[in-house]
Structure 1
Amino acid sequence: MSNLMLIIRLRGSAGSPWFIEETLRNLRLSRVFNAMLYPDTSPLKGMLIKVQPYVTWGEPSDEVLSMLLSKLKPKGKTIEEALKSVGVENTSNLKQAIVEGKIKLHELDDTFSLPLRLHPPRGGFKGSVKRPFKDEGEFGYRGQKINELVKRMI
Protein backbone atom coordinates (compact mmCIF):
# COMPACT_ATOMS: atom_id res chain seq x y z
CA MET A 1 0.00 0.00 0.00
CA SER A 2 3.07 2.26 0.02
CA ASN A 3 2.06 3.94 -3.24
CA LEU A 4 -0.85 5.78 -1.53
CA MET A 5 -0.78 8.55 1.05
CA LEU A 6 -3.72 9.37 3.30
CA ILE A 7 -3.63 13.02 4.40
CA ILE A 8 -5.81 14.41 7.21
CA ARG A 9 -6.06 18.09 8.14
CA LEU A 10 -5.75 18.63 11.91
CA ARG A 11 -5.71 22.39 12.43
CA GLY A 12 -7.74 25.36 11.29
CA SER A 13 -6.55 28.35 9.32
CA ALA A 14 -6.53 31.08 12.01
CA GLY A 15 -3.22 32.92 11.83
CA SER A 16 -1.80 30.82 9.02
CA PRO A 17 0.05 32.50 6.14
CA TRP A 18 -1.53 32.72 2.69
CA PHE A 19 0.83 30.16 1.11
CA ILE A 20 -0.17 27.53 3.69
CA GLU A 21 -3.86 28.10 2.93
CA GLU A 22 -3.19 27.94 -0.81
CA THR A 23 -1.32 24.65 -0.47
CA LEU A 24 -4.08 23.18 1.71
CA ARG A 25 -6.62 24.23 -0.94
CA ASN A 26 -4.51 22.53 -3.61
CA LEU A 27 -4.49 19.39 -1.47
CA ARG A 28 -8.30 19.79 -1.21
CA LEU A 29 -8.22 19.99 2.57
CA SER A 30 -10.34 23.07 3.16
CA ARG A 31 -11.70 22.05 6.60
CA VAL A 32 -10.43 20.43 9.75
CA PHE A 33 -10.75 16.60 9.74
CA ASN A 34 -11.03 16.40 5.94
CA ALA A 35 -9.08 13.50 4.42
CA MET A 36 -7.80 12.74 0.91
CA LEU A 37 -5.90 9.91 -0.73
CA TYR A 38 -3.13 10.72 -3.18
CA PRO A 39 -0.47 8.70 -4.98
CA ASP A 40 2.91 9.04 -3.27
CA THR A 41 4.89 11.40 -5.53
CA SER A 42 7.75 13.83 -5.10
CA PRO A 43 5.61 16.99 -5.62
CA LEU A 44 3.14 15.72 -3.02
CA LYS A 45 5.96 15.27 -0.51
CA GLY A 46 7.06 18.85 -1.11
CA MET A 47 3.53 20.12 -0.45
CA LEU A 48 3.30 18.01 2.71
CA ILE A 49 6.58 19.41 4.04
CA LYS A 50 5.22 22.93 3.50
CA VAL A 51 1.94 22.32 5.38
CA GLN A 52 3.35 19.85 7.92
CA PRO A 53 2.15 21.71 11.07
CA TYR A 54 -1.45 21.54 9.80
CA VAL A 55 -1.76 17.94 8.58
CA THR A 56 -0.83 14.37 9.38
CA TRP A 57 -0.21 11.67 6.79
CA GLY A 58 0.79 8.07 6.32
CA GLU A 59 0.20 4.88 4.35
CA PRO A 60 -3.30 3.38 4.85
CA SER A 61 -3.83 -0.36 5.32
CA ASP A 62 -6.28 -2.39 3.21
CA GLU A 63 -8.78 -2.43 6.07
CA VAL A 64 -8.69 1.34 6.58
CA LEU A 65 -8.87 1.96 2.83
CA SER A 66 -12.03 -0.17 2.65
CA MET A 67 -13.53 1.73 5.59
CA LEU A 68 -12.78 5.09 3.94
CA LEU A 69 -14.20 4.06 0.57
CA SER A 70 -17.39 2.86 2.25
CA LYS A 71 -17.85 6.49 3.42
CA LEU A 72 -17.95 7.80 -0.16
CA LYS A 73 -21.25 9.52 -0.89
CA PRO A 74 -22.41 9.70 -4.54
CA LYS A 75 -23.68 12.98 -5.96
CA GLY A 76 -27.33 12.69 -7.02
CA LYS A 77 -27.13 8.99 -7.88
CA THR A 78 -27.32 5.65 -6.15
CA ILE A 79 -24.03 4.10 -5.14
CA GLU A 80 -24.41 1.44 -7.86
CA GLU A 81 -24.93 4.04 -10.61
CA ALA A 82 -21.96 6.07 -9.37
CA LEU A 83 -19.68 3.02 -9.35
CA LYS A 84 -20.79 2.01 -12.86
CA SER A 85 -20.09 5.52 -14.16
CA VAL A 86 -16.53 5.13 -12.84
CA GLY A 87 -16.26 1.71 -14.50
CA VAL A 88 -16.29 -0.68 -11.53
CA GLU A 89 -18.93 -3.04 -10.15
CA ASN A 90 -18.44 -2.67 -6.37
CA THR A 91 -16.36 -0.91 -3.74
CA SER A 92 -13.81 -3.71 -3.51
CA ASN A 93 -13.11 -3.31 -7.25
CA LEU A 94 -12.90 0.46 -6.71
CA LYS A 95 -10.37 -0.08 -3.92
CA GLN A 96 -8.32 -2.37 -6.15
CA ALA A 97 -8.36 0.18 -9.01
CA ILE A 98 -7.23 2.96 -6.65
CA VAL A 99 -4.41 0.82 -5.22
CA GLU A 100 -3.21 -0.13 -8.72
CA GLY A 101 -3.32 3.52 -9.81
CA LYS A 102 -5.98 3.07 -12.52
CA ILE A 103 -8.35 5.45 -10.71
CA LYS A 104 -7.22 8.40 -8.61
CA LEU A 105 -9.57 9.35 -5.78
CA HIS A 106 -9.04 13.07 -6.29
CA GLU A 107 -10.32 12.72 -9.89
CA LEU A 108 -13.75 11.38 -8.86
CA ASP A 109 -15.19 14.83 -8.15
CA ASP A 110 -18.12 14.70 -10.57
CA THR A 111 -19.29 11.32 -9.21
CA PHE A 112 -18.66 11.45 -5.44
CA SER A 113 -18.64 14.21 -2.86
CA LEU A 114 -15.01 14.70 -1.90
CA PRO A 115 -12.97 15.22 0.29
CA LEU A 116 -13.86 12.60 2.89
CA ARG A 117 -15.28 14.08 6.07
CA LEU A 118 -14.11 12.46 9.30
CA HIS A 119 -15.14 12.93 12.93
CA PRO A 120 -12.80 14.13 15.65
CA PRO A 121 -10.97 11.11 17.10
CA ARG A 122 -12.81 9.18 19.82
CA GLY A 123 -10.84 9.57 23.02
CA GLY A 124 -9.25 12.75 21.71
CA PHE A 125 -5.75 13.28 20.44
CA LYS A 126 -3.04 11.54 22.42
CA GLY A 127 -0.64 14.47 22.09
CA SER A 128 -0.68 18.15 21.20
CA VAL A 129 -1.66 19.13 17.65
CA LYS A 130 1.09 21.77 17.91
CA ARG A 131 3.91 19.22 18.21
CA PRO A 132 5.26 16.80 15.61
CA PHE A 133 4.31 13.12 15.82
CA LYS A 134 7.88 12.04 16.45
CA ASP A 135 7.96 14.29 19.56
CA GLU A 136 4.75 12.82 21.05
CA GLY A 137 2.53 15.28 19.17
CA GLU A 138 0.04 14.78 16.34
CA PHE A 139 1.10 16.54 13.13
CA GLY A 140 3.48 15.26 10.48
CA TYR A 141 4.35 11.88 9.02
CA ARG A 142 3.18 8.88 11.03
CA GLY A 143 3.54 5.96 8.60
CA GLN A 144 1.38 2.92 9.40
CA LYS A 145 0.17 4.50 12.66
CA ILE A 146 -2.23 6.62 10.59
CA ASN A 147 -4.49 3.55 10.62
CA GLU A 148 -5.03 3.75 14.39
CA LEU A 149 -6.04 7.42 14.12
CA VAL A 150 -8.42 6.84 11.20
CA LYS A 151 -10.17 3.95 12.98
CA ARG A 152 -10.92 6.33 15.86
CA MET A 153 -12.17 9.02 13.43
CA ILE A 154 -14.61 6.93 11.34
Structure 2
Amino acid sequence: MKLAIIRIRGQSNLIRGIRDTLDFLKIKAKNNCVIRESTPTLLGMLKKVQHLITWGEVNSDVEKKLKEKEKNGVIRLAPPRKGYGRKGVKIPFTQKGAYGDRKEKINDLIERMI
Protein backbone atom coordinates (compact mmCIF):
# COMPACT_ATOMS: atom_id res chain seq x y z
CA MET A 1 0.00 0.00 0.00
CA LYS A 2 1.40 3.38 -1.01
CA LEU A 3 0.84 6.50 1.05
CA ALA A 4 0.82 10.09 -0.18
CA ILE A 5 2.21 12.42 2.50
CA ILE A 6 1.57 16.18 2.20
CA ARG A 7 3.00 18.87 4.44
CA ILE A 8 0.32 21.41 5.36
CA ARG A 9 2.08 23.66 7.86
CA GLY A 10 5.33 25.66 7.76
CA GLN A 11 8.44 25.22 9.86
CA SER A 12 8.83 28.11 12.28
CA ASN A 13 9.91 27.20 15.83
CA LEU A 14 10.07 23.42 15.34
CA ILE A 15 11.73 21.11 17.84
CA ARG A 16 14.88 19.50 16.44
CA GLY A 17 13.50 15.94 16.52
CA ILE A 18 10.43 16.95 14.53
CA ARG A 19 12.54 18.90 12.04
CA ASP A 20 14.82 15.86 11.59
CA THR A 21 11.82 13.58 11.02
CA LEU A 22 10.51 15.88 8.29
CA ASP A 23 13.99 15.89 6.72
CA PHE A 24 14.02 12.06 6.71
CA LEU A 25 10.65 12.12 4.96
CA LYS A 26 12.07 14.70 2.47
CA ILE A 27 9.19 17.09 3.09
CA LYS A 28 10.94 20.43 3.52
CA ALA A 29 8.29 22.98 2.50
CA LYS A 30 4.57 23.58 2.77
CA ASN A 31 2.44 21.89 0.08
CA ASN A 32 5.20 19.41 -0.77
CA CYS A 33 4.17 15.79 -1.31
CA VAL A 34 6.01 12.47 -1.31
CA ILE A 35 4.82 8.93 -2.04
CA ARG A 36 6.16 6.17 0.20
CA GLU A 37 5.45 2.50 0.79
CA SER A 38 3.68 1.93 4.11
CA THR A 39 5.91 0.37 6.80
CA PRO A 40 5.69 0.32 10.60
CA THR A 41 8.70 2.66 10.79
CA LEU A 42 7.08 5.15 8.43
CA LEU A 43 3.80 5.06 10.37
CA GLY A 44 5.70 5.86 13.58
CA MET A 45 7.36 8.84 11.91
CA LEU A 46 3.98 10.05 10.64
CA LYS A 47 2.49 9.88 14.14
CA LYS A 48 5.38 11.98 15.45
CA VAL A 49 4.78 14.84 13.00
CA GLN A 50 1.04 14.37 12.43
CA HIS A 51 0.19 17.96 13.42
CA LEU A 52 2.22 19.23 10.42
CA ILE A 53 1.16 16.76 7.70
CA THR A 54 -1.74 14.85 6.23
CA TRP A 55 -1.54 11.43 4.59
CA GLY A 56 -3.61 8.62 3.10
CA GLU A 57 -3.72 5.75 0.62
CA VAL A 58 -3.21 7.01 -2.92
CA ASN A 59 -4.96 5.34 -5.88
CA SER A 60 -3.20 4.50 -9.14
CA ASP A 61 -4.76 7.33 -11.22
CA VAL A 62 -3.66 10.06 -8.83
CA GLU A 63 -0.26 8.40 -8.42
CA LYS A 64 0.35 8.61 -12.18
CA LYS A 65 -0.52 12.32 -12.18
CA LEU A 66 1.85 12.92 -9.27
CA LYS A 67 4.71 11.01 -10.91
CA GLU A 68 4.56 13.45 -13.84
CA LYS A 69 5.21 16.38 -11.47
CA GLU A 70 7.88 14.57 -9.42
CA LYS A 71 11.38 16.00 -9.20
CA ASN A 72 14.07 14.39 -6.99
CA GLY A 73 11.42 12.37 -5.15
CA VAL A 74 9.43 15.46 -4.07
CA ILE A 75 6.25 16.77 -5.69
CA ARG A 76 5.46 20.47 -5.34
CA LEU A 77 1.76 21.19 -5.28
CA ALA A 78 -0.36 24.35 -5.29
CA PRO A 79 -2.52 25.21 -2.27
CA PRO A 80 -5.86 23.37 -2.51
CA ARG A 81 -8.80 25.07 -4.16
CA LYS A 82 -11.50 25.71 -1.53
CA GLY A 83 -9.01 25.11 1.29
CA TYR A 84 -7.96 22.14 3.41
CA GLY A 85 -11.11 21.79 5.45
CA ARG A 86 -13.86 23.67 7.16
CA LYS A 87 -11.91 24.34 10.35
CA GLY A 88 -8.38 24.80 8.94
CA VAL A 89 -4.96 23.24 9.52
CA LYS A 90 -4.94 23.35 13.33
CA ILE A 91 -7.72 20.77 13.76
CA PRO A 92 -7.43 16.99 13.00
CA PHE A 93 -9.17 15.59 9.92
CA THR A 94 -11.44 13.47 12.10
CA GLN A 95 -12.92 16.71 13.49
CA LYS A 96 -13.37 18.33 10.04
CA GLY A 97 -9.92 19.92 10.08
CA ALA A 98 -6.88 19.20 7.92
CA TYR A 99 -4.06 17.28 9.60
CA GLY A 100 -3.72 13.55 10.19
CA ASP A 101 -4.75 10.37 8.38
CA ARG A 102 -7.31 10.91 5.58
CA LYS A 103 -7.31 7.33 4.26
CA GLU A 104 -8.91 7.36 0.75
CA LYS A 105 -9.97 11.01 0.91
CA ILE A 106 -6.36 12.12 0.29
CA ASN A 107 -7.08 11.59 -3.42
CA ASP A 108 -9.73 14.35 -3.39
CA LEU A 109 -7.28 16.75 -1.74
CA ILE A 110 -4.52 15.96 -4.24
CA GLU A 111 -6.90 16.49 -7.17
CA ARG A 112 -7.67 19.97 -5.82
CA MET A 113 -3.94 20.71 -5.45
CA ILE A 114 -2.71 19.57 -8.89
Q: The TM-score by the shorter chain falls in which range?
A: over 0.9
Q: Which amino acid aligns with 1:146?
A: I
Taking only the aligned residue pairs, the percentage that are identical comes to 40
Aligned partner of 2:79 among 79, 98, 120 = 120
CA RMSD of aligned residues (A): 1.0
Aligned pair count reads: 113
Q: How far apart, in 1, do the equivalents of 2:82 and 2:98 lie?
A: 14
Q: How does 1:3-152 map to 2 (within 5 A)?
A: 3-72=1-70, 112-126=71-85, 127-152=87-112
CA shift at 1:69, angstroms?
A: 1.1
- Could you say which structure has the higher helix fraction? 1
CA shift at 1:136, angstroms?
A: 0.9
Q: Deviations along 1:86-143, whole A, 9 cap, x unmatched?
A: xxxxxxxxxxxxxxxxxxxxxxxxxx43311000001222231011100111000000
Q: How far apart, in 2, do the equivalents of 1:15 and 1:113 lie?
A: 26
CA shift at 1:16, angstroms?
A: 1.8
Q: How far apart, in 1, do the equivalents of 2:69 and 2:9 lie?
A: 22
123-132 vs 23-32, which moves further? 123-132
Q: Unmatched 5+ residue regions in structure 1?
A: 73-111
Q: Deviations along 1:22-62, whole A, 9 cap, x unmatched?
A: 10000000000110011100000000000000000000111
Q: Which amino acid aligns with 2:81?
A: R
What secondary structure is seen at the aligned counterpart in 2 of 1:134?
helix
Q: How far apart, in 1, do the equivalents of 2:28 and 2:69 lie?
A: 18
